[in-house]
Each structure stands twice: as C-alpha cells, then as structure tokens.
Chains A and B, each alone.
Chain A
Amino acid sequence: RKEVEQDPGPFNVPEGATVAFNCTYSNSASQSFFWYRQDCRKEPKLLMSVYSSGNEDGRFTAQLNRASQYISLLIRDSKLSDSATYLCVVNLNSGYSTLTFGKGTMLLVSP
C-alpha cells in the first residue's frame, strides 16, 4: 500500500461548485495531518491542519477518519483562485517531525 495516496485528478469544476478530495494513509499510528496547497511552480503552502474532530476554515472543511485511515478536504463555493494542486500530508512516523507528502490532487475551477 502506498504510504499517502491521492487521486491525481484533475478535478474540473465550475465556479460555485462543491468539491471533495480524499486521501488515504498507511500508518494507523499517525498523529499529524495537513492539507497543503501548491500553485504551479511555487512552494507548497499550508492550507489547514486536520484535527480529530474535524475543522473548518471559511469555505474549507477538513475531516479525519482514523478507523478507515483517510482524511478529506471539502471546498464549498469554489473560486477561480482555488485552482491549484492540493497535497495531503501525514506524519507517518509517530514522534518524528518528518512528513510524508501525497503526490497531490489537481483542481481546475472554470468560469
């Protein structure tokens, strides 16, 4: 099983749509989970951390399902500026600060 796995997409959605991404991870003992955003040829930037109880930041909602070992990202009311690659990131080695990055899911929002 790949350590952090994402659907590469692309997801093509119109403005205003709701879109959801899932990501699975291999280590049930993982403790830290994040979603990063990466624009073309730029550095990854933290979008949000993912907490056990789920969390929301404006139009973005992240959820964690430990039993099934996946995290999700929901984007409501998509904007053109949301077009980017979304990286699922997991601390697979509990107790260490190294993170494992998924290969990313590309989102394209069209007018």
Chain B
Amino acid sequence: QVQLQESGPGLVKPSETLSLTCSVFGGSVTSGSYYWSWIRQPPGKGLEWIGYISNQGSTSYISSLKSRVSISGDASKMQFYLKLTSVTAADTAVYYCARGNSERCLDYWGQGTLVTVSS
C-alpha cells in the first residue's frame, strides 16, 4: 500500500520561498508510469493542481504558477519536493502531494499540510 506524507514549515514570510517535501512509503518512485504531483487547497476554496514530476524527470506546471514553481525529486530518498518562490498571502493553503498514474488520475494522496504565508 503506497503512502505519502508531506512535511515542511507551516509558516512562511511574504516574498520568501515555500519548500515542502513529500515522502513516499510502500512503493517505488522509479518504476511504472507515475506522476508525482502537488495540489493545494486555499482556505474555503477548492482543489488546485500545481504540477508534477514524472519518473523520467519531466515536469509540468499550471500556467498561473509556472514562473514561481519548481518540482524536483530524489529517487534514492523516495522523496519529491515543491518550491514556490515570492509567496504572498494568496499562497496560504493546505498543500497535498499525490501520485498520478497512466490513467491520468491521482490514486494516492497525502494527508496535507497547512502552509500559512504571514509576517
């Protein structure tokens, strides 16, 4: 059974960089056709797909964040990462990591971690 767990600072100052880690348990991040994804949910709002990194290392991002976001991975640590630069209060959200698959759906999710942007 695959499990994912997000970790990182719960508070980030405006204009700084948000950095989160997703640790993957019970599965491989290198085998199969998977898309290791980040999704966020601002308070009181719906889910927003941020982007992914594939097993082959290719990335894709939502166009509205493309200039500020990067997703990377470390297969040896079974982890992948999210970096979002120049954050503002609008980036306050619960951030989820999830596994996407070849059926273009997200089949395993982490519990989410709340990141608040505030001075």
Do these two chains interact? Answer: no
B interface residues (Cβ-Cβ under 8 A, vs A) = none
